[in-house]
Amino acid sequence: MDSPLPVAPTSPPHGTANPNEVLHRLFGLSAFRGQQEAVVSHVIAGGDAIVLMPTGGGKSLCYQLPALCRSGVGIIVSPLIALMRDQVAALRQLGVAAAAMNSSLTGPERSQVRADLRAGRLKLLYAAPERLLMPDFLEMLDGVKIALFAIDEAHCVSQWGHDFRPEYLELSGLAVRFPGVPRIALTATADPQTREDIGRRLGLEDARLFLSSFDRPNIRYAVLRKEAPLRQLLTFLRAHEGESGIVYCLSRNTVEQTAAALNEHGIKALPYHARLPPEVRSANQDAFLTTEEGLVLVATVAFGMGIDKPDVRFVAHLDLPSSLEAFYQETGRAGRDGLPAETLLLYGMQDLVMRRGMIEQGGAPAQVKQIERGKLDALLGVCETVTCRRQAILAHFGEILPAPCGNCDNCLTPAETWDGTVAAQKALSAAWRTRQRFGVGHLTDLLLGIKTEKIERFEHDQLPTFGVGTELDRKGWGSVFRQLIVRGALEVDHENFGALCLTQAGETILRGKESVLLRKEAASGSARALLKKKAGRLEVPAADQPLFEALRTERTRLAKGQNVPAYVIFHDATLAAIAAARPGSEAALTQIPGMGASKIERYGAAILSIIAGA
């Protein structure tokens, strides 16, 4: 049952005409999901496609299956070595001849991949765009029968995307060099503008667009005001004891400090960022993906794109992401197996000011900055909305959810609102009367009537607005200012140390021509209760639990023996289905989702033995 994977992958049957048969025999699946069948049929017939499916929606099958059904080898453009490795390992478990060509291979390993490719022994070959576009690699492909080109994480080709990579721009040349070979571009997050950019930059303007629902109903969204981030994070993580998850931070220092603090509080955590020594970074990533269960990885956004780990049960952000696309991509790394997962975003005034400052002080052209501001504003709108967050997220991607989702914090604990018109006018007046030269802290001192050294130096204690805001505390005014910035009534002057300036919208409010409804900040008790809420997990009946755990133990042993992630062997859902059905023969195992012919051949006898002994 624990026979090692072959060093040189064996070749599956070539030219299989029936994708439904391959789906069942190799992948152990009885039916396609959503638009998968339409995509597969279109590409098998030789058509180009742009595929937008949410993370966990089955994008990989949309190019893997056509590559298996068409003559030749499928060339997969993938941005990360970790993703290639996971995909190749999973495919080899299914008996598929797959390989990757990247910098992690030794010289002899690269030679073996080239030999397998030239001999027609491969059905799928993964490569980064930089390697694919090397002259020697392209020359090698010239003499090979190619089934298709798949460009994964295709949003990287768009300057409006959140992970823009210039190398992707040259991929449009594939159509010229390899005419007649179908190309399929896939991504999980692209607003209408990014979709158009993908088609234009890859020369796929005439490709058929397959647009699936972006909804991930198994993911719960929660956004809270950042108060004591470590304490809030600890409360959240203690509801997820023994589960794997990711905590995102903006800076490397915060990553290392947070990981150290979590370990001090008894939560097993590792850091991940670009400045770690490569061997440490690789070891930490491997521990999270492969060897350790229940591990928290604290990371910058350098970690995650394309990560294929299905059992990430939570994603937390300690800092505001750069855009709604980035937020959706990063939170989408949770719950890829379709089981319930939670996300948490903590943000405050400093996040807002910092993110806008990064845009303004960056070197991007004015047009790009304008787009970046709009994307950040879309995320801020989701953070401040008092209605269903999922409806707001999906609307950004052009999808209308007809009813509230019932699985976000605003649906589970409806936000309260209050008439903040007078408070808004006081805040705006404070900014206007101080000549729009000061930031939130000074303006709050002014409204609260606190005679700081700066207040007295500028004689602001003589202004009519001094002390007129004692009905709110400092946190309350922070919320008012933040919401006024989000709605565009105030803007931050980053050239003048974060001074707040009135916009035309702000002047309209100040003159009493528009009322303002503000979100009431959640009380600390209700916020803590929200952090402790945990969605239901995979339910295994008590009678099946011993068998389920026995199967999980054997899976762990196999995974360690083969140095692959446990989920590459079997997903929890497959083990739960086996524990429930208790199949008594290999024929009965074929009815279990995820039990393809190769896995039954490799592991079937041992599984049946465990069942018989349960």
Q: What is the 3-state secondary structure (H, E, C) of 551-583?
A: HHHHHHHHHHHHCCCHHHHCCHHHHHHHHHHCC
Specify the pLDDT at position 37.
94
pLDDT reading at 13 higher than 50: no
Task: State the DSSP string of 305-336.
Answer: TT---TTEEEEEESS--SSHHHHHHHHTTS-T
pLDDT reading at 22 higher than 70: yes
Specify the pLDDT at position 15.
45
pLDDT reading at 601 higher than 80: yes
Mean pLDDT, rounded, for 260-278: 94
Mean pLDDT, rounded, for 44-49: 95
Residue 371: pLDDT band (50, 70, 90) is confident
Q: Which domains does the chain have, with CATH numbers?
A: 19-211 (3.40.50.300), 219-412 (3.40.50.300), 417-521 (1.10.10.10), 542-613 (1.10.150.80)
Residue 334: pLDDT band (50, 70, 90) is very high
- The two structure tokens encoding residue 323: 């855009």
Amino acid at 288: F
Specify the pLDDT at position 1.
38
**Dist CA 300 CA 359 (whole Å):** 18
Mean pLDDT, rounded, for 470-485: 89
Share of the chain above pLDDT 90, in %: 51
**Dist CA 92 CA 5 (whole Å):** 7
pLDDT reading at 306 higher than 60: no
Mean pLDDT, rounded, for 294-304: 84
Please identify which residue in the block is written with the tokens 């009815």: 591
Task: State the DSSP string of 517-554.
Answer: EEEPPPPHHHHHHHHH---------GGGHHHHHHHHHH
Phi, psi (5° rounding) for residue 322? -80, -20
Mean pLDDT of the chain: 87
**Dist CA 327 CA 227 (whole Å):** 20
Specify the pLDDT at position 4.
32
Report whether 519 contacts 441 (CB < 8 A).
no
> Cα angle vertex 316, ends 216, 361, to 5°?
105
pLDDT reading at 17 higher than 60: no
Residue 528: pLDDT band (50, 70, 90) is low
Higher pLDDT, 333 or 167: 333
Specify the pLDDT at position 57.
77
Higher pLDDT, 7 or 74: 74
